[in-house]
Structure 1
Amino acid sequence: MRLKPLCVFLLLCGLFPAKASADNRFIVRTTLGLQGLQTVCNPLLLTPICTVIGSGLGDPQGQLFTITTPLALNDLLALPGNLLGIVDAEVDQLVSLFPIGSLNVLPSASAGYLTPLMSDRTLVPYPASSGRTSACNGLSPCVWDAYANQPAARIVRVSDAQSQFGVTGAGIVADIDTGVDPTHPALQGVLLPGYDFTRNQPGGSELADISSSPCPFSSCPPPRCPDCSSAQVNQSTAAVLDQSTAAVLEGNDNYAAFGHGTMVMGVIHLVAPTAQLMALKTFKSDGTGLLSDILRAVYYAVRNYAQVINMSFDTQTSSRELKTALNYANKRNVICVASAGNKAQSAPPLTVYPAEWQNDVMGVASTSDQDTRSSFSNYGNAIVWVAAPGEAIVTTYPFGTYAAGWGTSFSAPFVSGGSSLLLNMQANTNEPQAARAVAHAVPVGAQMGHGRLDLVQALGAAPASDLPPTGSIDRPSGSVIVLAGQSVFFSGSGSDPDGKITGYSWSFPGGEPEGSNVATPGSVTYSTPGVFVVTFTVTDDAGLKDPNPKTRTIFVLP
């Protein structure tokens, strides 16, 4: 009996050199839980197998963790007896906002239209229905006219949709990105606290990226320049910026993505100005972020009641756990939107995640102001659900100013904002419903999904308020008295006035099994004396649950 532990001991010793090599970083799903995983990672009298980073990634089962280890992935999975209790494992990949080969290249800074692009800096109240005068002060929700009344807003009919349907946005829209400038006058009134996963602290501010010395600007924040022209180009971020903030960022890889999150948030706010915005910072100012932080952000968004998740990023490497997280969000009625990427390639053969997971996510391509596919945009119905303008999009930028952006990063938030408008019309709108509504779009050619976003068409196609389903416990017909060790037979059914039943949920406290997800679970055995209340809930194809779960009381005698 002592030979097996001895063999395990010798095998583990052989896996590790006297001086361990550089650690690899993996995402693991394990049945051991945090404490159990920490214990087996550090076996007594042996070199540590692994190190657990943090306390978990926030999945509802509490099974998902990030670890570092000198072992390769195959060696980790081959540990004797599945020592770490691993159900699944994958590399904690580094995701970039600007993958190699991305083609969202700006026109030359000498192009004639760049200078007037943001020239109208007249402050106007936004949304217009706010009733404020155009003589704005620091307390008014006022924005540049070049932002509020830009061509892209007219193309997708933002103002028409808002006025025709009486909507300006509802619910919480989370953006997984570089963070946000929480002091921006246009945004601060609708911003929720958010979270910075790159630093493990509340807030989600991307200004933290420049708060350390040395400041990338002549001063932090840089001085305002109300009369500066708008012809400076930050090629990495694909943005035309004020001279006061842009020149120093050009060519500085440490700040290649600085401002990206604030810009994306500004587009969401343009479409849905009264939606609440939650910045989830998973990317650093250089544009890189860990997959594990993205997973944490998805689960955080769901836990904190986000109804829309915007993801203006893409990767060509599939992740089982990211798909699981987004599927989890979908089942909890969260609408997910992602950019289709900027490699000017067709999918297939190109793979683009998460846009490719169309059961859970709406992938968004970019179009020009002439309703043609942007030269940089990826295309293909496998990744594109719909398209939206993505060229010269005027939007918010850190330090209370504005920038113009190019890329599918700025197309996706038009759809996320549109989803918030749909929530204004029907508070329980889910991913399938939003996708069906958004699919009512303007055709722009082959391989561009359902076409270019038209908010008036999308809102016009929104379903009427859905009615919830009703469940019924068919057997037993009432309360039951049994002796310990006896069984009770259960069956149920449901009806939905405007759809169909897609889910069943039984809870059997004190019984074996303890629950079931089928209509007729059959016999349940009660071994312990006591009084137990069984609950039964049905769910319909709109994700709505019976507001009055049905119950039966089971009296178990000794």
Structure 2
Amino acid sequence: MRLTRFPLSIFTALALAGCAATTTPQAPGASASDYVMTVLTPDPSLSDAQLSARYGGTLLTRTPNFALLRVAGGTLRSASFANDLRVVVEPNKDVFSVPTFSSSGTVGLWGSGTVGLWGSGTVGLWGSGTVGLWGSGTVGLWGSGIGASAANTLNYAEYTSIGLGDAQTRIAAQGLTPGAGVTIAVLDTGLDLGHSAFAGHLSPTNTWKDFVDQDNLPQDQGTMGTGAVGHGTEVAGLSLTVSPGAHLMPLRVLDEQGRGDVDNLTQAIVWAADHGANIINLSLGAATAVEAVTQAIAYANSRGVVVVASAGNQGHEGLDYPAAEFGLTSSNLAVGSVTHAGTKSVFSQYGPLTVLAPGEGLVGPAPQGQAAAWSGTSMSTPLVAGSVALAMTHVPARSAADSADRLKATAQDLGGVSGNANYTGKLGVGRIDLDALTR
């Protein structure tokens, strides 16, 4: 993934890596945190304590379709369930990831002075001028103004390509705000919770959780420009540019280096489904399928939640998990990246995709009140998550699952675009088209 942060007068590319790339699980060890056990359709007659005793692990979460336990490396199975096909034991540590980011040189900030972003007038980035990038001016990119019309953003070409401005205008004419009443759970490195981009856009604090540090403050930690710091902040912000009326549920499942454990991700998916999320954004991936996460996603789907996941950035055929399991077979969406001209991004993986969205050089919020531009399927994914939220609020109102279907039904086939000839049948139904969706 490319990561760019901006001084006042220039846009400088500072880092290059992939987003939603895969990581090979660590070798088995003796720690009790190294493995998780998924018990399918756990016996409802067993209490939580009895279930833990039965399988010899620490119960982490439980639903009617599965239970997740943490187990020690040396005692994975007992003779009583050695042949029990309902029991799956898998590595736990650092199975999911976004890549490590590197940068060189001095990183500048978008400062507090006056900058002409969209014209020759005086524009206050966070201030009280006519246009506030995060603020309360007439047009607020993430603020309380008219909305994030494509004509008023630094992502103009990308947002125009998906018809965002026209869609938001039509929804505003209905007296509605795109995404109003919809909650998007962002399972990532956390958010810069104090960033003005998110003011008034976060879910109630009792729905927040940091599964990495085991507390209730899912803050995007560390220094911007190192590791994966800022990844979750940008992902969350991009979903709001599409649906500025939505609320974000911040759930931290990845550390500062962008690594995450199976137990944390599984618990977070269940948590999001149980605490009111309509959409779950997963801008992350793994090399292989993980039963615990598959079961958690199935549980979320049973609660009416749509899961949107990134395809991966290795450029090859075949998708990262869980996107690899989505395809066109369910309400969940596997997202690849295209340029604003509609050509598959060089880094984007392809194959059983669902839809495509822009993913190159998208500007969004960054920690410490900054702005940054990133590239990767991780950035395409929140645009699609935000689009599902937008579709839910367009009259007639739809469920998340029906909105995902509507998004697929109105997508624009890009098979005839120059550069896509080698990917026939491997780019899903095409690029999202919010203009067509709202027509």
TM-score (norm 2): 0.73
Structure 1 residue 90, shift from structure 2 partner? 2.5
Rounded to whole Å, the distance in 2 between the matches of 1:379 and 1:86 is 33
* C-alpha distance after superposition, 1:489-518 (max 9, x if no partner): xxxxxxxxxxxxxxxxxxxxxxxxxxxxxx
Structure 1 residue 300, shift from structure 2 partner? 0.8
Q: What secondary structure is seen at the aligned counterpart in 2 of 1:297? A: helix
The answer for the alignment partner of 2:209 in structure 1 is: 195
160-169 or 406-415: which moved more?
Answer: 160-169
Q: 1:99, 1:315 within 8 Å by CA — same for their partners in 2?
A: no
Give the one of 276, 291, 294 matched to 1:323.
Answer: 294
Give the one of 71, 74, 86 matched to 2:74.
Answer: 71
The answer for the alignment partner of 1:205 in structure 2 is: 219
Matched, 1:176 2:187: yes
Rounded to whole Å, the distance in 2 between the matches of 1:135 and 1:416 is 20
Q: How does 1:201-280 map to 2 (within 5 A)?
A: 201-206=215-220, 209-210=221-222, 245-246=224-225, 249=226, 256-280=227-251
* C-alpha distance after superposition, 1:436-470 (max 9, x if no partner): 4333122222221111111111233xxxxxxxxxx
Give the one of 369, 384, 393 matched to 1:415.
Answer: 384
**Residue type at the aligned position of 1:158:** L
**Residue type at the aligned position of 1:81:** S
**Residue type at the aligned position of 1:290:** D
Matched, 1:453 2:422: no
The answer for the alignment partner of 2:345 in structure 1 is: 374
The answer for the alignment partner of 1:527 in structure 2 is: none
**Residue type at the aligned position of 2:411:** A
Rounded to whole Å, the distance in 2 between the matches of 1:404 and 1:135 is 18
Q: Structure 2 vs 1, CA of residues 363 and 393 (structure 1 numbering), >3 Å: closer, same or farther?
A: same
Q: Structure 2 vs 1, CA of residues 40 and 169 (structure 1 numbering), >3 Å: closer, same or farther?
A: closer
Q: 2:148, 2:241 within 8 Å by CA — same for their partners in 1?
A: no
432-441 or 358-367: which moved more?
Answer: 432-441
Give the one of 130, 142, 159 matched to 2:165.
Answer: 159
The answer for the alignment partner of 1:61 in structure 2 is: 64
Q: Structure 2 vs 1, CA of residues 149 and 287 (structure 1 numbering), >3 Å: closer, same or farther?
A: closer
* C-alpha distance after superposition, 1:396-438 (max 9, x if no partner): 1111111000100000111100111111124441325423433
Q: How does 1:363-512 map to 2 (within 5 A)?
A: 363-380=334-351, 382=352, 384-425=353-394, 426-445=396-415, 446=424, 447-460=426-439
Q: 2:339, 2:359 within 8 Å by CA — same for their partners in 1?
A: yes
Rounded to whole Å, the distance in 2 between the matches of 1:454 and 1:134 is 23
Across the aligned residues of Structure 1 and Structure 2, the Cα RMSD in angstroms comes to: 3.5
Matched, 1:34 2:48: yes
Rounded to whole Å, the distance in 2 between the matches of 1:395 and 1:146 is 13
Rounded to whole Å, the distance in 1 between the matches of 2:240 and 2:51 is 43
Structure 1 residue 340, shift from structure 2 partner? 0.7
Rounded to whole Å, the distance in 2 between the matches of 1:61 and 1:85 is 18
The answer for the alignment partner of 1:556 in structure 2 is: none
Rounded to whole Å, the distance in 2 between the matches of 1:81 and 1:395 is 53
Structure 1 residue 37, shift from structure 2 partner? 4.2
The answer for the alignment partner of 1:91 in structure 2 is: 90
Q: How does 1:78-117 map to 2 (within 5 A)?
A: 79-82=78-81, 87-93=86-92, 94-98=94-98
Structure 1 residue 361, shift from structure 2 partner? 1.5
Gaps of 5+ in 1: 1-19, 42-49, 110-117, 211-215, 217-244, 250-255, 461-558
Q: What secondary structure is seen at the aligned counterpart in 2 of 1:418? A: helix
Q: Structure 2 vs 1, CA of residues 146 and 96 (structure 1 numbering), >3 Å: closer, same or farther?
A: farther
**Residue type at the aligned position of 1:95:** V
Q: Structure 2 vs 1, CA of residues 439 and 122 (structure 1 numbering), >3 Å: closer, same or farther?
A: farther
The answer for the alignment partner of 1:306 in structure 2 is: 277
The answer for the alignment partner of 2:19 in structure 1 is: none
Q: Structure 2 vs 1, CA of residues 156 and 135 (structure 1 numbering), >3 Å: closer, same or farther?
A: closer
Q: Structure 2 vs 1, CA of residues 148 and 160 (structure 1 numbering), >3 Å: closer, same or farther?
A: farther
Q: Percent identity?
A: 28
Rounded to whole Å, the distance in 2 between the matches of 1:163 and 1:141 is 9
Structure 1 residue 352, shift from structure 2 partner? 3.6
Runs of 4+ residues over 6 Å off in structure 1:
83-86, 138-146
Rounded to whole Å, the distance in 2 between the matches of 1:420 and 1:36 is 41
Q: Structure 2 vs 1, CA of residues 36 and 185 (structure 1 numbering), >3 Å: closer, same or farther?
A: same
Q: What secondary structure is seen at the aligned counterpart in 2 of 1:71? A: coil
Query: Which one has a larger percent strand, Structure 1 or Structure 2?
Result: 1
**Residue type at the aligned position of 1:369:** H
**Residue type at the aligned position of 2:60:** G
Gaps of 5+ in 2: 1-28, 106-114, 118-122, 126-130, 416-423
* C-alpha distance after superposition, 1:334-367 (max 9, x if no partner): 12211111111112xx664234223141011000
**Residue type at the aligned position of 2:438:** L
Q: How does 1:139-158 map to 2 (within 5 A)?
A: 147=153, 150-158=156-164
Rounded to whole Å, the distance in 2 between the matches of 1:333 and 1:33 is 27
The answer for the alignment partner of 1:343 in structure 2 is: 314
Rounded to whole Å, the distance in 1 between the matches of 2:152 and 2:372 is 10
* C-alpha distance after superposition, 1:115-164 (max 9, x if no partner): xxx98375324799x8x44799x998999998465322222122211112
**Residue type at the aligned position of 1:69:** A
**Residue type at the aligned position of 1:56:** L
Q: Structure 2 vs 1, CA of residues 61 and 84 (structure 1 numbering), >3 Å: closer, same or farther?
A: farther
Q: 2:234, 2:365 within 8 Å by CA — same for their partners in 1?
A: yes
Rounded to whole Å, the distance in 2 between the matches of 1:39 and 1:105 is 45
Q: 2:65, 2:295 within 8 Å by CA — same for their partners in 1?
A: no
Rounded to whole Å, the distance in 1 between the matches of 2:132 and 2:267 is 36
Q: Structure 2 vs 1, CA of residues 67 and 362 (structure 1 numbering), >3 Å: closer, same or farther?
A: same
Q: What secondary structure is seen at the aligned counterpart in 1 of 2:200? A: coil
Q: What secondary structure is seen at the aligned counterpart in 2 of 1:453? A: coil
Q: 1:125, 1:141 within 8 Å by CA — same for their partners in 2?
A: no
Give the one of 262, 266, 288 matched to 2:259.
Answer: 288
Q: What secondary structure is seen at the aligned counterpart in 2 of 1:201? A: coil
Rounded to whole Å, the distance in 1 between the matches of 2:431 and 2:65 is 40
Rounded to whole Å, the distance in 1 between the matches of 2:367 and 2:320 is 33
Q: Structure 2 vs 1, CA of residues 205 and 62 (structure 1 numbering), >3 Å: closer, same or farther?
A: farther
Q: State the aligned residue count.
A: 365
